[in-house]
Structure 1
Amino acid sequence: MKRAIRSGNLFDHGEPASSDERVDALVERGGVTIERIVSTGQASPPGFWYDSPRAEWVVLLSGAAALEFEGEPQPHPMKPGDHVLIEAHCRHRVAWTSETEPSVWLAVYYPDGAAD
């Protein structure tokens, strides 16, 4: 029986190719996507809100960042190891990410209701 093994290192992301965040899809199967996101000082554009039809669980592995959620008065600061579950259609944005070190995220997107 042949087994296909794919491996890598979440922190081996190289230098940014542009001023944009780097987003690498690591796994995409059955409506589930696992991404590594590397932020280097990026934030969501003013007035922009993510509004996904899928739920998202995200953990910050390195760096620092803050998320904003629509209707919440204060940003949600994050340090390495912090994670948050964002339900489908919960409008949110990235307030800021560290400009002095890469902020490496692991994000898991899945269909609404899959974690019930």
Structure 2
Amino acid sequence: MSEIKKSVFDAMPQDLSDEFFELIAGNDEVKIERIISRGHTSPETGWYDQAQHEWVIVLQGEGEITFADGRIIKLGVGEHINIPAHCKHKVSWTKPDEETVWLAVFYS
């Protein structure tokens, strides 16, 4: 087993023309992703509608998540939310002038 110490702020991508997704750890039951946004949002059409629950925290920056029922949740540093499986949502705003670093945990 690899026990290399890392930071979620290591190896920040220089080119953020697209939102950056990185699998940090996972198995069949749990997946942990680092997501880096800079002004990125979800596509205008369609919603995330995942089979797993998603717990997400903002480690740097700010972002907004919009739900299909119209709710908008703004998250800042240290704030987190648990999104139940099949709860349709999308990222509707992230800071355009600063990286927003998210940590997302997908679980059954």
TM range (shorter): over 0.9
Q: CA RMSD in A?
A: 1.4
1:14 to 12, 15, 20: 12
What TM-score, normalized by structure 2, do the two folds share?
Answer: 0.92
Equivalent position to 1:102, from 93, 99, 102 = 99
Q: Which residue of 2 aligns with 1:25?
A: 23
Deviations 1:4-45 (A, max 9, x none): 313211112323434111111000123210010000110011
Letter in 1 for 2:38: T
What SS class does the counterpart of residue 25 from structure 2 fall into?
Answer: strand
Find the structure with the greater CA-based Rg: 1
- Supply the AA of the counterpart residue of 2:90: R
The 1:80/1:18 distance shift into structure 2, 3 A limit, reads closer
TM-score (norm 1): 0.86
2:24 and 2:32 in contact (8 A); partners too: yes
Number of the residue aligned with 2:61 = 63
Q: How far, CA to CA, are the matches of 1:48 and 1:19 in structure 2? A: 21
Distance 1:100 1:18, change over 3 A: closer
Moved over 6 A (4+): none
Unmatched 5+ stretches in structure 1: 112-116
Distance in 2 between residues matched to 1:4 and 1:19, nearest whole Å:
31
Deviates more, 1:50-59 or 1:20-29: 20-29
- State the shift of 1:97 in Å: 0.5
How many aligned positions are there?
108
Aligned partner (choices 77, 82, 88) of residue 80 of structure 1 = 77
